[in-house]
Amino acid sequence: MVCKALWQSRLWYGIITGRIRPAGKTTFEAADFPERPRKQKQKGGADMSVADTIFINMCRDVIENGTSTEGEKVRPVWEDGTPAYTIKKFGVVNRYDLRKEFPALTLRKTALKSAMDEILWIWQKKSNNIHDLNSHIWDSWADETGSIGKAYGYQMQVKHEYKEGMMDQVDRLLYDLKHNPYSRRIMTNIYVHQDLHEMNLYPCAYSMTFNVTKEPGKDKLTLNAILNQRSQDILAANNWNVCQYSILLMMFAQVCDMEAGELVHVISDCHIYDRHIPVIKELISRTPYPAPSVRLNPEIKNFYDFTVDDLIVENYQTWPQIKNIPIAI
């Protein structure tokens, strides 16, 4: 159930249902929310995208069962200075099996090559400067030199001392996957408390833990990963993050001669902003298409050789993109 304050707010009622609640009405009606979606099938009975089903169920769960921050002291604001309130759920966990399909939404298009470009900016270039990035998604958090401070890529290029020598987190990860694949210590972390005061934005997706399994009947080892995220703006970033870290998992698996397995996405504060709810309602009313085919150029054997041109996307059918989505900053 949505928190009492949310149920009694005429403003939020209008945002969620698209109607103004009559004075004195203090509860929602069943008709205010469509039936919870079942797994969609295309003509002929084939399953639609699992990622779409996960997204639809997650959004409905947040709207129907989340709690509101309306009226509370919150950090984010809209560009006009208005506080950006949310409906949120704590501890959302979604699982994506990359052996079955690539988890790109078809409810709207995710710019897969741009998502890969950002992940290469952080993990391969290890950069904290937006001039090394081929998009403008970080412009609001950059200073006059283009730096976002000691965040994201900056932390990836810091070298640490190990028994085997000085390595940064990415090189240590690659070393362990190749030399100690069954280690339970293969992880990265960029939420470094001593540097937080010099970060223009604290990391949202801050930690990855990798785990290798030997599946029965398989010649190759399977590489799985957990992505830990302290906070996520569902509309702006959910599928973007899911896709880019799936691509990252695929890249690491390929250069280590493994198969990409499961990506488990753990979100501490999973939220929808107040001004995003009408857009979310439109998205989850759409019928999903089948998942696209996404693979990497098999010729690449070194992680540092990947470019966005090595991402091969086929049969990606989507609904139209929703433009001019406001972003809380």
Question: Annotated catalytic sites, by residue?
Answer: 204
Residues 211 and 263 sit within 8 Å (Cβ to Cβ): no
- Cβ neighbours of residue 125 closer than 8 Å, sequence gap 6 or more: 132, 153
Separation of alpha carbons 178 and 212, rounded Å: 11
- How many C-beta atoms lie closer than 10 Å to residue 110's C-beta? 23
Can you read off the two tokens belonging to residue 167?
Answer: 């390595």
Can you read off the two tokens belonging to residue 210?
Answer: 């990798």
Measured in whole angstroms, the distance separating CA 85 from the mean position of its chain's CA atoms is: 20
Separation of alpha carbons 177 and 175, rounded Å: 6
Residue with structure tokens 């009405």?
25
- How many C-beta atoms lie closer than 10 Å to residue 239's C-beta? 23
223 burial level (CB within 10 Å; 0-12, 13-18, 19+): buried
Can you read off the two tokens belonging to residue 12?
Answer: 């939020």
Residue with structure tokens 């990798």?
210
Through-space distance between the first and last CA atoms of the chain, rounded to whole angstroms: 28
Residues 242 and 265 sit within 8 Å (Cβ to Cβ): yes
Separation of alpha carbons 284 and 281, rounded Å: 5
